[in-house]
Amino acid sequence: MKINLLFLIYFFSIPLPIFSQKEQDKLITVKILSQKEKSDKSRIYLLEKIVAKGIFFKKSKIFNDYDTLNYCLSNTKLYLALRRSVSNGWGCDYSFLKSKDAEMVVFLSLDSIADANKEIERRMVDNFTYLENNRDEKWQEKVTYYTSQQAKKIFNADSAFKYTFSLPSEFYLKENGKEYKYIEKLFILRKGKSFIDYTCFYTDKAKKCFNKYWKPLEHTLRYKE
């Protein structure tokens, strides 16, 4: 007991380091730069992966291809619904694209899987099970398919389809005062290539002029010949 008491007296008698305002600002800056460096590494890795998988990346005037925020899925069910698409560990990941007005945040998953259709079906089952509590066949009514001509023209793909979710309030993704209340999912497939899986969170403002964001996004990635 005496040893513990002496240790506590010694510990609390050590003067705390005093930093000037300039030094404090420097420490904060270092922390921010560290986060940016992590984001940069994630972005560079993803862009290199896109090129390596035979896909063209086209920059957009609407979107930035960098974002220092590491987004974390806000709810257990949201994580279970999207864990195969948006998860770089514990349901957190850096976005692939973010609109310049921050009204839409886009995550990207590229996967080389022998049975792409089966994997996509798993992801869809997760989506509809946890976001809509719906595992029956009615979910197919929510899916919008691109025609084969559209898939070829826009993505140089064999097929593509999308669907939308309006999230319950407890599932909202919230960052910097923005509430991302909706999700648009887009899958793009080409035989012999990795399939493209987009997960797009967006706000009420983006919903009102959705095509302003969606049309440029459609032309961001395209399979090479």
pLDDT score of 55 more than 90: yes
Output the average pLDDT for the chain: 83
Q: What tokens does 51 get?
A: 């090129």
The β-bridge relationship of strands 221-223 and 159-166 is: unpaired
In which band, very low, low, confident or very high, does the pLDDT at 75 lie, cut at 50, 70 and 90? Answer: confident
In which band, very low, low, confident or very high, does the pLDDT at 67 lie, cut at 50, 70 and 90? Answer: confident
Sequence-separated (6 or more) residues with CB below 8 Å from residue 93? 42, 70, 71, 86, 87, 107
Cα 19–Cα 22–Cα 23 angle in degrees, nearest 5:
40
**Selected residue with higher pLDDT from 30 and 77:** 77
The predicted model gives 46-68 an average pLDDT of 89
* pLDDT at residue 19 in the model: 43
Q: What tokens does 23 get?
A: 């030094």
Q: What is the pTM of this model?
A: 0.80
pLDDT score of 120 more than 80: yes
Digit-coded pLDDT (tens) for 182-217: 999 999 999 999 999 999 999 999 999 999 999 999
Decide: 221 and 187 in contact? Cβ < 8 Å: no
Digit-coded pLDDT (tens) for 6-52: 433 333 344 444 445 554 444 444 445 456 677 777 777 788 889 88
Decide: 177 and 210 in contact? Cβ < 8 Å: no
pLDDT score of 134 more than 80: no
* pLDDT at residue 186 in the model: 98
Calculate the dihedral angle through the C-alpha atoms of 86, 192, 144, 155, rounding to the nearest 10 degrees.
90
In whole angstroms, give the CA distance from residue 196 to residue 56: 12
Closest by CA to 64, choosing from 111, 33, 91, 103, is 103
Digit-coded pLDDT (tens) for 88-114: 666 788 889 999 999 999 999 998 777
